[in-house]
Amino acid sequence: MVRRTVYGSRLASKVNNPDLKEGVHVRVSKLKDVFTKGYQQTFNDEIFIVGSVELKEGVYIYRLKDYDGEKVAGVFYTVEVQKVPYDPNRVYRVEKVLKWKGTV
């Protein structure tokens, strides 16, 4: 009786379809702390593939795998992953400037 009174609306709520399907390419969010700057990147550059989608207590969780097919440890919630378009000719970020030409 108490459980139904406290959690009734949440348990009876309609579950929507998952935002991501198996085989979709995603990036995982970085761990953030109190002093994380807002202008810094919040998601990793590494891209993973959604291996499986599971529904646990009304919330979808995702199990990921890398391009080699190896499973990534742990599960991820919808807010922790970001869908990215798959492009094999992807342009990568500049890691380090080797030499400047002219004045800066």
Backbone angles phi, psi at 9, to 5 degrees: -65, -35
Q: How many structural domains compose the chain?
A: 1
Q: Please indicate, yes or no, if residue 97 is contained in any of the structural domains.
A: no
**What is the tens place of the pLDDT at every residue in 59-89?**
999 999 998 889 999 999 999 999 988 887 7
Residue 19 maps to a domain: yes
Dump pLDDT digits (tens) for 13-34: 666 888 889 999 999 988 777 7
| Domain extent at residue 62 | 15-83
pTM of the model: 0.68
Residue 31 lies in a domain: yes
- On whether residue 88 sits in a domain, the answer given is no
In a domain, 5, yes or no: no
- Interior angle at CA 38, CA 33 and CA 40, nearest 5: 85
CATH number at 73 reads 2.30.30
User: DSSP for 86-101?
Assistant: --TTPPPPP-------
Residue 52 lies in a domain: yes
DSSP per-residue codes, the chain: -HHHHHHHHHHHSPPPPPSS-TT-EEEEEPP--TT--TTS--EEEEEEEEEEEEEETTEEEEEEE-TTSPBPSS-EEGGGEEE----TTPPPPP-------S--
- Does residue 102 sit within a domain? no
Query: Is residue 99 situated within a structural domain?
Result: no
Dihedral of the CA atoms 74, 86, 44, 91 (nearest 10)? 160
